[in-house]
Amino acid sequence: MVKIRSEATKQSMGVVLLLVCLVARIHVGSAAIDLEKPFPAFFIFGDSLVDVGNNNYMVTVARANSLPFGIDFPQGPTGRFTNGKTVLDVIADLIKLPYPPPYLDPKVRGNAILQGVNYASAAAGYLRSSGFNFVGRADFDTQIEWFANTASQVKEILGEDGAKDFLAKSLIATAFGANDYVNNYLLSYAPINKVYTTDQLKYVILDKTKAQLTKIYNLGARIIAVSSLGPIGCIPSQLVRQRSVNGECSEYVNGLARDFNVGLQQVLNELNQEFPDGKFLYADVYTNADEYVKNYPKYGFVSASTACCGRGKYKGQLLCLPFLKACPNRREYVWFDCFHPSEAVNEMLGQALYDRLKEQL
In this structure, the number of other CB atoms found within 10 A of the CB of residue 237 comes to 24
Q: Please give the pLDDT value at position 334.
A: 98
Q: Are 229 and 177 in contact (CB under 8 A)?
A: yes
| d(C-alpha 138, C-alpha 120), whole Å | 8
The confidence score (pLDDT) of residue 37 equals 64
| H/E segment holding residue 13 | helix 5-24
Instruction: Specify whether domain 39-360 bears CATH 3.40.50.1110.
Output: yes
Which DSSP symbol is given to 330?
Answer: G
Report how far residue 277's alpha carbon sits from residue 218's, in angstroms, rounded to the nearest whole number: 12
Within 8 A by CB and 6+ apart from 330, the residues are: 71, 72, 83, 308, 336, 342, 343, 344
Model pLDDT, residue 19: 35
How do the domains of the chain map onto residue ranges? Answer: 39-360
Tell me which residues are annotated as active site: 48, 337, 340
Tens-of-pLDDT digits for all 361 residues of the chain?
333 333 333 333 343 333 333 333 334 433 444 434 689 999 999 999 999 999 999 999 999 999 999 999 999 999 999 999 999 999 999 999 999 999 999 999 999 999 999 999 999 999 999 999 999 999 999 999 999 999 999 999 999 999 999 999 999 999 999 999 999 999 999 999 999 999 999 999 999 999 999 999 999 999 999 999 999 999 999 999 999 999 999 999 999 999 999 999 999 999 999 999 999 999 999 999 999 999 999 999 999 999 999 999 999 999 899 999 999 999 999 999 999 999 999 999 999 999 988 888 7
Q: Which residues, other chains included, contact 177 with Cβ-Cβ below 8 Å and sequence gap of 6+?
A: 125, 126, 205, 227, 228, 229, 257, 260, 264
pLDDT of residue 70: 98
Give the E-state strand segments of the chain in sequence order.
27-28, 31-32, 42-46, 171-175, 223-227, 279-283
| Length of the chain as a residue count | 361
What pLDDT sits at residue 38?
86
| CB-CB contact of 277 with 28 (8 Å) | yes
Amino acid found at 333: Y
Q: Tell me the C-alpha distance between 196 and 292, whole Å.
A: 32
Provide the residue type at 240 as one letter: V
